[in-house]
Structure 1
Amino acid sequence: MEKSPIIMWFRRDLRLGDHQALTAVCESGRPVIPVFIHDDIVAGHGAAPKFRLGLSVADLARSLDAKGSRLILRKGSALDVLRKLIADTGAGAVYWSRLYDPDNRARDTDVKAALKSDGIVVQSFAGHVLFEPWTVETKTGGFYKVFTPMWKSVRDNHVPAALPTPGQITAPDSWPASDSLDDWRMGAAMRRGADILASHCTVGEAAAASRLGAFIAHRVQSYQKNRDLPAVDGTSRLSENLTYGEISPRVCWHAGWRALHDDKADAEVFLKELVWREFAYHLAFHTPRIVHDNWKEDWDAFPWNTDERLAGVTSWKQGRTGIQFVDAAMREMYVTGTMHNRGRMIVASYLTKHLLTHWKIGMNWFADCLIDWDPCSNAMGWQWSAGSGPDATLYFRVFNPVTQLDKFDKDRAYVQRWLAEPFSKPSATALSYYDMIPRSWGMSPNDPYPDPVVAADVGRKRALDAYETRGF
């Protein structure tokens, strides 16, 4: 057993550098069998996330090939696949990086128990977060339910230096059979939009490192102001890469601190955003219901609209609510698989407040369209906006999408980038939306721009009346 191979099960840690599990495998001196498993959790991904995950898996496979290793692909139940690989290879151990959402935790708990009962060594390692959820506590020993105290608690915590990329990954004497990634057809649900979406993706470990470097060098010093301007390239855009583990949060954290020490004061805002991501995992670990149900249980009685077929909901999904900020943001997401954070707040507020529609409908639509989809961050973000989640400021977050546009897109550069109908000469990005969407939607850039489904002032009053009636 001391010389038997170790299976390195990759999941949302699709990189070689600063990888605690992979480093431990390589330091053992034993043969390493890297594997990625297309199980029920992967199968349940939405169209854009699954397509983007496939690109990341392909990039990891190339990186392993360059090291004289290879990525074994198998499809099926994780436990069944691992047991079959163990039987095929004589592997005596399985290593992986921990995940913190309830679905992955439940699977991993079952797999670990079953393999240990088979006599297999199983080790899991941190890797997707800076601070594992059980290591961060309030002064009274509980978990944090409000972000700012958590930020103050962890701001000066020690974060170990990032680990180097292993110099050598020992190969087994013979390799087990592998599926073909092409046969998995991970982009099938994208249909005709796959090529356009791919052009907006920044894939892999090397690309993620370059993206971080460019942000720290050129944009972090103006981050506090520019991150709110959707027409400006002012954010890191690293959520895409962090989602698949193409870059580690530790690498981002240390880069942010170096920038702060170099007198780039706005780097602290970037560090806060990294901890906001941590907050999502913290809550999903301690209160798993946040991923599927109202975090504040008294919201279970709120009279949300739950009918996705409602005309207003369809208009919201298709980016034709007649509210320019909402529509531009929804089309940006459909084309690029991402949405500016200011846009995310606006579209979520409009759906849950102006349209009084359940946040789950929005959360599920995002889960189908976002290449940076993450089960914890997506759920927390939607509940934060809806009022049913943590850090909710119910009345303040009934955003007026018209005044917000005047404030953050004064010259309408963002709107012109993504909306075609209001302009005589639409931009190429606005027109690309029509090459992405299903033909059954029957939309054309020559259509008249629609009147508002719900006007900004009318929707706000309706939302506030509903909260007051329900005693919120």
Structure 2
Amino acid sequence: MSDTSPILIWLRRDLRLSDHPAFHTACATGQPVIPVYILDDQYAGLAAAPKYRLGLGIGHFAQVLEEQGSRLILRSGDTALEVLQSLIRETGASAVYWSRQYEPDAVARDSAVKSALKEQGIDARSFGGHLMFEPWTVETKLGGYYKVYTPFWRSVKNRDVEVPLAPPSKLHAPDQWPASDDLADWHMDAAMNRGADVLRPFVRLGEQAAQARLDAFLDNIVAGYNTTRDLPGVDGTSNLSENLALGEISPHQCWHAGWRALEEGKSGAEIFLKELVWREFAYHLMHHTPRILSISWREGWEGFDWNTDEQSAEVIAWKQGRTGIPFVDAAMREMYVTGRMHNRGRMIVASYLTKHLLCHWRIGQKWFEECLIDWDAASNAMGWQWSAGSGPDATPYFRVFNPVTQLDKFDKNRDYAGRWIAEGRSDPHSDALRYFDAIPRSWDIAASDIYPKPVVDAADGRNRALQAYKTRGF
């Protein structure tokens, strides 16, 4: 390798400088480094909210690189390989480094890129960083993969996790930068329409904001996390899913910080560590059983008589946050305003859709993909299948969350419901009113409307679900 030939850093869901193995390795060579983001068919096809959030993340990281005397080169094309080959010809680059992704389509793309570039004599390397434990390195005693979370947790909890890397001390620039697309021309926010302006104040953008989130969580919240994580009306979680999704912080950084908090006597930190491993478990399952992304994971469930009509009255009411069940509706409205949803809310809205309304989990999976800025393919799929009863380590089919008693238990003073539901209130919360600014005008919903009666009563829905399971022989 020539000492002066550039190394291309092909960025994806790794928009940070610290604890970035590909950046670290490239910068250690002393060669020029050219960071590149490619809008190929996989990223161009992202749904509205994740694509919007990705655009914000790319723009912010470009500014960070500028401050370091570097640049982010933006290119679009049908395939990443074609774009990379073009950049290699333009710059004389002798190497391309990137952080691994694990979705089946991404694995196929990256494998083809690596093979083709190596045939051309290019040093093509992939690095870890998005996960703490590569999915193929965690095995049962019999050599298989884990299908249940608790044994998976026991298997990895005492493993050594790589110590986070410091950010590069210097990013060496090439003698001449290649041309770059203008991010505005990518129109990453197009599908959000007016919702983008509503959501933007709730975004915490970039590596510095992610680190501040982690620090504040560990200083003020984590000690009681085992309780506060279930209370949607209080600030009791880390909110780091948004930043983890785009790699603005690494799981390694979160893991080591969590262990330090646990050693300081903050008992809730163990639950935080378990949540990080739950994320790893989702990727473990996606790697070994990619069907989890598109079909029911458990045998027998694919033939279940779900309602698959996305235009049915029940589904429309659920999407609009107008089911007449306050916990469900508050959670859905939180998602439209902030781009995120409290974890307890996710369980409730998923259970209500799949069990009370007997609608296919794929409807919910696709809708979350459309609306969440912290969307993650593996976590989204496993979460929905867990709630529906069709997935690995799933909540039992006969466990049907009662969304009314759940609100009584976890939002006793109705702080959460009051923050997000405006109808019937003389002085609604400003966030509840923001919902009407975020949603499509075609929904024709106003704060002055009467709050609806339940689409399906909590008790009736549970009985209907249990009868359906009995009929199917579960």
Give the aligned partner of residue 294 of structure 1.
296
Q: Superposition pairs for residues 379-458 of structure 1, below 5 Å?
A: 379-458=381-460
Give the aligned partner of residue 67 of structure 1.
68
Distance in 2, matches of 1:357 and 1:107, equals 33
Q: Is the 8 A contact 1:320 1:327 kept in 2?
A: yes
Compute the displacement of 1:62 (Å). 1.1
Q: Superposition pairs for residues 242-281 of structure 1, below 5 Å?
A: 242-281=244-283
Compute the displacement of 1:110 (Å). 1.4
Give the aligned partner of residue 18 of structure 1.
19
Q: Superposition pairs for residues 23-34 of structure 1, below 5 Å?
A: 23-34=24-35
Measured against aligned partners, the alpha-carbon deviations of 1:66-85 in whole angstroms (never above 9, x if no partner) come to 11110000011211110110
Distance in 1, matches of 2:183 and 2:441, equals 28
Give the aligned partner of residue 207 of structure 2.
205
Q: Residue 334 of structure 2 is aligned with which of 332, 335, 346?
A: 332
Give the aligned partner of residue 129 of structure 2.
127
Compute the displacement of 1:396 (Å). 5.0
Distance in 2, matches of 1:452 and 1:126, equals 47
Give the aligned partner of residue 58 of structure 1.
59
Compute the displacement of 1:117 (Å). 1.9
Distance in 2, matches of 1:464 and 1:130, equals 39
Distance in 2, matches of 1:204 and 1:125, equals 21
Q: Is the 8 A contact 1:312 1:453 kept in 2?
A: yes
Count matched residues. Answer: 472
Give the aligned partner of residue 36 of structure 2.
35
Distance in 1, matches of 2:291 and 2:103, equals 10
Q: Is the 8 A contact 1:35 1:74 kept in 2?
A: yes
Amino acid at match of 2:21: Q
Distance in 1, matches of 2:121 and 2:400, equals 55
Amino acid at match of 1:302: F
Amino acid at match of 1:430: A
Q: Residue 284 of structure 1 is aligned with which of 247, 261, 286?
A: 286
Give the aligned partner of residue 343 of structure 2.
341
Distance in 1, matches of 2:305 and 2:397, equals 17
The alignment status of 1:115 with 2:122, answered yes or no, reads no
SS at match of 2:202: coil
Measured against aligned partners, the alpha-carbon deviations of 1:181-215 in whole angstroms (never above 9, x if no partner) come to 11111011111111111111000000000000000
SS at match of 1:373: coil
Q: Is the 8 A contact 2:149 2:281 kept in 1?
A: yes
What RMSD, in angstroms, separates the aligned Cα atoms of the two structures? 0.8
Distance in 2, matches of 1:43 and 1:354, equals 35
Q: Is the 8 A contact 1:387 1:393 kept in 2?
A: yes
Measured against aligned partners, the alpha-carbon deviations of 1:221-271 in whole angstroms (never above 9, x if no partner) come to 010001000001000000000000000100000000000000001100000
Distance in 1, matches of 2:131 and 2:297, equals 22
Q: Is the 8 A contact 1:349 1:397 kept in 2?
A: no
Compute the displacement of 1:121 (Å). 1.4
Amino acid at match of 2:2: E
Give the aligned partner of residue 2 of structure 1.
2
Amino acid at match of 1:69: S
Amino acid at match of 2:16: R
Larger mean CA deviation between 310-319 and 113-122 belongs to 113-122
Measured against aligned partners, the alpha-carbon deviations of 1:384-410 in whole angstroms (never above 9, x if no partner) come to 001110111324531010010110011
Compute the displacement of 1:171 (Å). 0.7
Distance in 1, matches of 2:88 and 2:455, equals 57
SS at match of 1:52: helix
Amino acid at match of 1:71: L
Distance in 2, matches of 1:220 and 1:18, equals 23
SS at match of 1:172: coil
Larger mean CA deviation between 106-115 and 164-173 belongs to 106-115
Measured against aligned partners, the alpha-carbon deviations of 1:346-397 in whole angstroms (never above 9, x if no partner) come to 0000000111111111000000100100000000000000111011132453
Identity, % of aligned positions: 65
Give the aligned partner of residue 106 of structure 2.
104
Give the aligned partner of residue 45 of structure 2.
44
Q: Superposition pairs for residues 309-388 of structure 1, below 5 Å?
A: 309-388=311-390
Q: Is the 8 A contact 2:388 2:397 kept in 1?
A: no
Measured against aligned partners, the alpha-carbon deviations of 1:85-140 in whole angstroms (never above 9, x if no partner) come to 01111111110000111121111111111212222111000010011101111111
Distance in 2, matches of 1:297 and 1:89, equals 52
- TM-score, normalised with respect to structure 1: 0.99
Compute the displacement of 1:28 (Å). 1.3
Amino acid at match of 1:194: A
Distance in 2, matches of 1:81 and 1:356, equals 45
Structure 1 stretches of 4+ moved >6 Å: none
Distance in 2, matches of 1:441 and 1:24, equals 51
Distance in 2, matches of 1:182 and 1:284, equals 33
Amino acid at match of 1:2: S
- TM-score, normalised with respect to structure 2: 0.98
Distance in 2, matches of 1:424 and 1:195, equals 25
SS at match of 1:300: coil
SS at match of 2:285: helix
Distance in 1, matches of 2:398 and 2:180, equals 53
Q: Is the 8 A contact 1:130 1:249 kept in 2?
A: yes
Distance in 1, matches of 2:211 and 2:239, equals 12
Distance in 1, matches of 2:352 and 2:201, equals 29
SS at match of 1:196: helix
Q: Residue 237 of structure 2 is aligned with which of 232, 235, 238?
A: 235
In structure 2, runs of 5+ residues without a counterpart are none
